[in-house]
């Protein structure tokens, strides 16, 4: 009998990982679905530090739904500790991984260097990063890219097919046909399902056949506001910031959210509604990803691209003429000499590192500043503290008063809302059992009740639960 063990993204939205042990061709095979980084404070750091060597040596294949670090960010650690098999992903995900994992290793090296300075002064043992840029290179060499809809043979007579999840570039719903107990079992993992209202991405594919479904539940407790209302709210915040004489700070997820925000700013600019004088994209990784999105535009929604082409008369350089790309540290530091009239999009999306922290240091204590939160903020992150209304926060070792106005605009989310999740799950025939993953406990409980009202059975697994297929 084949089994599935829940090793991550259980009761949380990060650290996605599921172990599939397959009773195929007369012997046991171990496959891993996802290998994500935990995000959100000391507990997440401890989870990331757990050894993976024993797992790495058992595995014959890894399957990845998409490139976000909470799904892929521990792959180089897995490789560092002994994994040498293939990493199956979509073609666009393979290209994104190069940017994402290299940046993660670079940031990690900088953080460790900073931490070891005070450890040395305090005569404490030095620490090592989870992985290095060399481990990233070894990881990328193992990636095996595939197109959507293309059947792939895995060890143990397992068949893999990727379907478009509509979340970010290359994101996939994972279909696995798994032999178990003398017959084939159909396992479907939603990955991160896209928000149909989002621009640039195509809508998530709807599937109809499954025996078992793993479904994300990030926004299981709510629906997003309609896009039209969201855009009006966004425009109003920008107007208020300009009238108050302050800057707008947007903590940006480098993949997906940044490109969508730039799209909407472009539309506002060409409608004559954007009053700010300059927009800074202050994230080397987000810049590289934005350039990749432009190069792989054939993967994007053509109707949305048509809107930009019309607005800019077909010239990509004119999509947003007031956009400035700040790659160097010196260019980033210079932004903080601007006291008003600027929009600053900077990483990291959950405010747990990156250049956004430096902009907080100069702007968070000003009542004229507007902070616009456009993505999910995990428990334990600085972004979550701001969303929850913290009056004081610690930034780069310094405690700051939060005088800026913080706006959460959930309609920009790249995740499906509750209604979309129920609709997607409800499309399966024969009522497969649904397991809710990648969500915080309250959101999962609310979604479980809503699914039950729709006649869909759903369970909420615990960490290390093992279920037969």
CB 358 within 8 A of CB 331: no
What was the pLDDT predicted at 314?
62
CB 187 within 8 A of CB 212: yes
Give the whole-angstrom CA distance, residue 263 versus residue 259.
Answer: 6
CB 439 within 8 A of CB 413: no
Give the whole-angstrom CA distance, residue 390 versus residue 380.
Answer: 12
Averaged pLDDT, 300-307? 87
Averaged pLDDT, 57-74? 97
Nearest in space to 351 (alpha carbons), one of 343, 360, 342: 360
Residue 387 reports pLDDT greater than 90: yes
Q: Which residues pair with 273 in a beta bridge?
A: none
Chain position carrying tokens 């997607």: 424
Residue 311 reports pLDDT greater than 70: no
The pLDDT-based confidence of 317 (bands split at 50, 70, 90) is: low
Chain position carrying tokens 């959101």: 443
Beta-sheet pairing, 212-216 with 323-325: unpaired
Show Cβ contacts of residue 174 under 8 Å, excluding neighbours closer than 6 positions.
33, 63, 65, 160, 162, 163, 188, 189, 191
Q: What is the pLDDT of residues 188-198, one digit of tens each?
A: 999 999 999 88
CB 23 within 8 A of CB 469: no
Q: What is the pLDDT of residues 432-460, one digit of tens each?
A: 999 999 999 999 999 999 999 999 999 99
Averaged pLDDT, 11-31? 92
- Tell me if residue 303 falls in helix, strand or coil: helix
Q: What is the pLDDT of residues 257-275, one digit of tens each?
A: 899 999 999 999 999 999 9
CATH number of the domain located at residue range(s) 227-412 in this protein: 3.40.50.10890
Nearest in space to 263 (alpha carbons), one of 200, 322, 313: 200
* Rg of the chain in Å (alpha carbons): 22
The pLDDT-based confidence of 34 (bands split at 50, 70, 90) is: very high
Give the whole-angstrom CA distance, residue 359 versus residue 357.
Answer: 5
The pLDDT-based confidence of 296 (bands split at 50, 70, 90) is: very high
Averaged pLDDT, 207-218? 97
Give the whole-angstrom CA distance, residue 340 versus residue 309.
Answer: 30
Q: What architecture does CATH give domain 3-222+414-468?
A: 4-Layer Sandwich (3.60)
> Which range among 46-55, 308-317, 396-405, 429-438 shows the weakest confidence by mean pLDDT?
308-317
The crossing angle, in degrees rounded to 10, of helices 418-426 and 441-453 is: 50
Q: Which residue has the higher pLDDT, 111 or 296?
A: 296
The pLDDT-based confidence of 94 (bands split at 50, 70, 90) is: very high
Tokens linked to 370: 């507007």
Domain ranges of the chain: 3-222+414-468, 227-412
CA angle 424, 253, 361 (to 5 degrees): 145
Residue 316 reports pLDDT greater than 60: no
Give the whole-angstrom CA distance, residue 64 versus residue 6.
Answer: 15
Instruction: Measure CA 429 to chain center.
Output: 29
Residue 212 reports pLDDT greater than 80: yes
The pLDDT-based confidence of 118 (bands split at 50, 70, 90) is: confident
Instruction: Give the mean pLDDT of the chain.
Output: 93
CB 14 within 8 A of CB 36: yes
The predicted model scores a pTM of 0.91
Q: Quote the percentage of the chain above a pLDDT of 70.
A: 98
Q: Quote the percentage of the chain above a pLDDT of 90.
A: 80
Chain position carrying tokens 């060597």: 53
């Amino acid at each position: 009998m084949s089994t599935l063990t829940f090793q991550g993204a259980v009761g949380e939205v990060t650290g996605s990982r599921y172990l599939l042990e397959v009773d195929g061709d007369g012997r046991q095979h171990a496959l891993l679905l996802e290998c994500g980084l935990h995000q959100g404070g000391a507990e997440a750091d401890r989870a990331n530090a757990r050894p993976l060597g024993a797992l790495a040596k058992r595995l014959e294949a890894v399957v990845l739904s998409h490139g976000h670090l909470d799904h892929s960010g521990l792959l180089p650690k897995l490789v560092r500790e002994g994994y040498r098999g293939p990493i199956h992903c979509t073609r666009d995900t393979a290209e994104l991984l190069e940017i994402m994992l290299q940046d993660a290793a670079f940031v990690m090296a900088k953080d460790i260097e900073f931490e070891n300075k005070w450890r040395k002064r305090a005569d404490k043992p030095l620490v090592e990063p989870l992985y290095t840029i060399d481990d990233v290179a070894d990881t990328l060499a193992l990636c095996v890219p595939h197109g959507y809809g293309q059947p792939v043979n895995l060890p143990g007579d397992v068949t893999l097919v990727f379907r478009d999840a509509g979340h970010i570039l290359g994101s996939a719903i994972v279909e696995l046909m798994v032999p178990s107990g003398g017959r084939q079992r159909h396992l479907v993992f939603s990955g991160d399902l896209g928000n149909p209202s989002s621009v640039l991405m195509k809508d998530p594919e709807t599937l109809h056949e499954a025996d078992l479904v793993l479904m994300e539940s990030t926004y299981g407790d709510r629906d997003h506001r309609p896009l039209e209302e969201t855009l009006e709210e966004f425009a109003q915040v920008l107007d208020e910031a300009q009238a108050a004489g302050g800057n707008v700070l947007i903590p940006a997820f480098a993949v997906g959210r940044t490109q969508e925000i730039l799209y909407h700013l472009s539309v506002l600019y060409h409608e004559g509604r954007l009053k700010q004088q300059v927009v800074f994209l202050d994230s080397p990784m987000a810049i590289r990803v934005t350039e990749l999105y432009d190069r792989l535009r054939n993967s994007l929604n053509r109707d949305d691209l048509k809107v930009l082409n019309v607005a800019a008369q077909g010239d990509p350089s004119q999509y947003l003429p007031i956009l400035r790309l700040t790659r160097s540290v010196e260019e980033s530091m210079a932004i903080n000499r601007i006291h008003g009239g600027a929009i600053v999009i900077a990483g990291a999306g959950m405010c747990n590192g990156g250049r956004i922290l430096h902009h907080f240091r100069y702007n968070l204590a000003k009542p004229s500043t507007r902070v616009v939160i456009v993505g999910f903020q995990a428990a334990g992150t600085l972004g979550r503290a701001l969303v929850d209304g913290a009056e004081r926060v610690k930034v780069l070792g310094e405690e700051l008063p939060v005088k800026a106005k913080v706006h959460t605009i959930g309609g920009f989310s790249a995740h499906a809302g509750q209604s979309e999740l129920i609709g997607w799950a409800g499309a399966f025939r024969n009522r497969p059992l649904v397991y809710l993953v990648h969500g915080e406990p309250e959101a999962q409980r609310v979604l479980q009740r809503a699914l039950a009202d729709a006649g869909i059975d759903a369970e909420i697994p615990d960490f290390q639960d093992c279920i037969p297929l």
